[in-house]
């Protein structure tokens, strides 16, 4: 299916979701339906539903999407003070940032800066990292996608301490859970007394020392975003190291298994289980990285890989357009295998990054789809 047709399908699915369940922020589907009874684990995905509405408005100019986007963004405003999650970048950069960029309203700017300040309060001076939501001794690779809101707040407010904290987190992450070959661990555990890095760990990957696909995608895209905000080549180097691993290990169809160490001959969920959301995140990140790298050859490779993934994701094997009753956009995502939450389902961040990547490709006329 052409990318623009896939985006139109995405708009219909989101419109149906908000009609069916007004003011509800689901995280994953159960048997293709958004109203889930399972736990959240952590409440981190509201910005993706509202963020899709902003993407739809920005691409089409449709005022209805803007009204919906403003309404759903406003429902998230109180989260600027939320100290229970490490996800304030996901929540606010996809909502209040596009809103502020369109309107220039000071209040929206203030919310963004406050969200950056709140996230920065997670900084552990011993160890030099932003603690994850699970424990003070824990650093997650996912935080690389959220630390950009601290850089944003630092740049906009001129607060050097915010920049210090954000830079230190990126460097600690690079030096502990990004490996020399560009793969990543999900979690790092630190000694709270000395701040010393102790070991790799995981919650959502196959094993502490495995290569969880979504974590790698978060790192690739996160360091690329940090490079965009800082201009520091050391950040570009990490993103390109992640990208090299991604390109070298991605299956021919452009969609990874949930963990690069999963046994492709074993049954799902721990074996041959595809993870479409990791594919969508990496595709969106690679489209940006293609504009940042200093190597024309690598730019071409990043773009081609992103389009290979998107071309696969817009087929009916992944796009739910020909799956009657499926309420999501993209099938075959995975949230949390060990907890059996959202496995082989639609997941809200998969929806968002798929829409974001398709929009980038469509706007830049990069489509390779027929
Ligand atoms: N906790 C973030 C993720 O599932 O990727």
Nearest Cα to Cα of residue 24 among 83, 72, 94: 72
> How much distance in Å is there from the Cα of 77 to the middle of ligand 1?
21
Q: Is 187 in the pocket of ligand 1 (CB under 6 A)?
A: no
Average pLDDT score over the chain: 96
Q: Is residue 369 part of a domain?
A: no
Structure-block tokens of residue 327: 């309420």
> How much distance in Å is there from the Cα of 215 to the middle of ligand 1?
8
DSSP code string of 281-300: HHHHHHHHHHHH-S-HHHHH
The answer on pLDDT for 367 being more than 70 is: no
Taking each helix axis as running N to C, give the angle between helix 3-20 and helix 348-363, from 0 to 180 degrees, rounded to the nearest 10: 140
Q: What local confidence, expressed as pLDDT, does residue 363 receive?
A: 86
Peptide bond preceding 269 in cis form (omega within 30 of 0):
yes
Closest-CA residue, ligand 1 atom 2, reads 142
- What CA–CA distance (Å, rounded) separates 130 from 144? 10
Q: Is 204 in the pocket of ligand 1 (CB under 6 A)?
A: yes
Q: Is residue 261 part of a domain?
A: yes
Pocket test for ligand 1, best of 39, 44, 212, 333 (most atoms within 8 A of CB): 44
Nearest Cα to Cα of residue 99 among 140, 54, 133: 54
Atom number in ligand 1 closest to CA 347: 4
Nearest Cα to Cα of residue 25 among 352, 357, 353: 352
List b or e across 17-40, with b for residues whose CB sees 16 or more CB atoms inside 10 angstroms.
Answer: beeeeeeebbbbbeeebbebeeee
Per-residue pLDDT reduced to its tens digit, 182-204: 999 999 999 999 999 999 999 99
Q: Is 142 in the pocket of ligand 1 (CB under 6 A)?
A: yes
Per-residue pLDDT reduced to its tens digit, 106-118: 999 999 999 999 9
> How much distance in Å is there from the Cα of 109 to the middle of ligand 1?
26
Question: What residues pair up with 187 in beta bridges, in sequence order?
Answer: 140, 201
At residue 364 the predicted structure's pLDDT band, cuts being 50, 70 and 90, is confident
Q: Is 214 in the pocket of ligand 1 (CB under 6 A)?
A: yes
Per-residue pLDDT reduced to its tens digit, 88-107: 999 999 999 999 999 999 99
Q: What local confidence, expressed as pLDDT, does residue 16 receive?
A: 98
Q: Is residue 368 part of a domain?
A: no
Pocket test for ligand 1, best of 47, 349, 352 (most atoms within 8 A of CB): 349
Contact 112, 92 (CB under 8 A): yes
Q: What percent of the chain has pLDDT over 90?
A: 95
Taking each helix axis as running N to C, give the angle between helix 46-60 and helix 63-74, from 0 to 180 degrees, rounded to the nearest 10: 160
Number of domains in the chain: 1
Q: Is 203 in the pocket of ligand 1 (CB under 6 A)?
A: no
CATH no. for residue 240? 1.50.10.10
Per-residue pLDDT reduced to its tens digit, 29-64: 999 999 878 888 888 999 999 999 999 999 999 999
- Give the torsion sign (CA, 137, 143, 144, 148): negative
Nearest Cα to Cα of residue 149 among 211, 203, 90, 216: 90
Q: Is 118 in the pocket of ligand 1 (CB under 6 A)?
A: no
Q: What local confidence, expressed as pLDDT, does residue 369 receive?
A: 53
Average pLDDT rounded to a whole number, residues 60-77? 98
Structure-block tokens of residue 217: 């995608």
- What CA–CA distance (Å, rounded) separates 219 from 145? 7
Closest-CA residue, ligand 1 atom 4, reads 335
- What CA–CA distance (Å, rounded) separates 326 from 206? 28
> How much distance in Å is there from the Cα of 186 to the middle of ligand 1?
10
99 CB contacts (<8 Å, ≥6 apart)? 54, 69, 70, 73, 105, 108
Length of the chain: 370
Q: Is residue 45 part of a domain?
A: yes
- What CA–CA distance (Å, rounded) separates 272 from 284? 24
Contact 357, 370 (CB under 8 A): no
> How much distance in Å is there from the Cα of 353 to the middle of ligand 1?
13
Q: What local confidence, expressed as pLDDT, does residue 366 receive?
A: 78
Per-residue pLDDT reduced to its tens digit, 136-155: 999 999 999 999 999 999 99
Q: Is residue 370 part of a domain?
A: no
Pocket test for ligand 1, best of 204, 215, 345 (most atoms within 8 A of CB): 204
Per-residue pLDDT reduced to its tens digit, 225-273: 999 999 999 999 999 999 999 999 999 999 999 999 999 999 999 999 9
Q: What local confidence, expressed as pLDDT, does residue 59 receive?
A: 95
- What CA–CA distance (Å, rounded) separates 229 from 235? 10
17 CB contacts (<8 Å, ≥6 apart)? 26, 34, 49, 327
Q: Is residue 184 part of a domain?
A: yes
Domain span at 81: 3-363
Tracing tokens 């290569």 back to the chain, one arrives at: 211
Closest-CA residue, ligand 1 atom 1, reads 142
């Amino acid at each position: 299916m052409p990318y623009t047709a896939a985006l139109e399908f995405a708009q219909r699915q989101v419109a149906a979701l908000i009609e069916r369940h007004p003011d509800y922020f689901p995280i994953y589907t159960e048997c293709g339906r958004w109203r889930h009874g399972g736990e959240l684990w952590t409440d981190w995905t509201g910005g993706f539903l509202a963020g899709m509405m902003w993407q739809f408005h920005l691409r089409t100019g449709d005022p209805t999407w803007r009204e919906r986007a403003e309404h759903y963004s406003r429902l998230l405003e109180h989260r600027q003070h939320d100290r229970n999650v490490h996800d304030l970048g996901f929540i606010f950069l996809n909502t209040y940032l596009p809103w502020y960029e369109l309107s220039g309203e000071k209040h929206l700017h203030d919310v963004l800066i406050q969200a950056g300040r709140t996230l920065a309060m997670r900084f552990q001076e011993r160890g030099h990292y932003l603690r994850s939501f699970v424990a003070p001794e824990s650093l997650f690779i996912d935080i690389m996608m959220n630390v950009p809101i601290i850089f944003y707040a630092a740049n906009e407010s001129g607060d050097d301490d915010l920049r210090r904290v954000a830079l230190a987190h990126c460097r600690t992450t690079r030096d502990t859970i990004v490996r020399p070959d560009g793969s990543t661990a999900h979690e790092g555990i630190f000694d709270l007394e000395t701040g010393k890095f102790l070991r790799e760990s995981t919650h959502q990957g196959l094993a502490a020392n495995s290569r969880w696909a979504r974590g790698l995608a978060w790192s690739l895209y996160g360091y690329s975003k940090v490079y965009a905000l800082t201009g520091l080549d050391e950040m570009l180097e990490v993103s390109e190291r992640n990208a090299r691993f991604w390109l070298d290990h991605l299956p021919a169809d452009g969609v990874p298994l949930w963990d690069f160490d999963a046994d492709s001959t074993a049954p799902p969920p721990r074996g041959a289980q595809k993870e479409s959301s990791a594919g969508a995140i990496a595709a969106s990140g690679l489209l940006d990285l293609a504009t940042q790298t200093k190597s024309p050859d690598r730019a071409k490779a990043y773009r081609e890989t992103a389009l290979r993934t998107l071309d696969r994701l817009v087929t009916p094997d992944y796009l739910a357009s020909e799956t009657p009753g499926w309420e999501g956009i993209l099938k075959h995502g995975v949230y949390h295998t060990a907890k059996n939450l959202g496995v082989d389902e639609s997941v809200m961040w998969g929806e968002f990054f798929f829409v974001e990547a398709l929009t980038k490709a469509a706007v830049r006329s990069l489509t390779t789809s027929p």
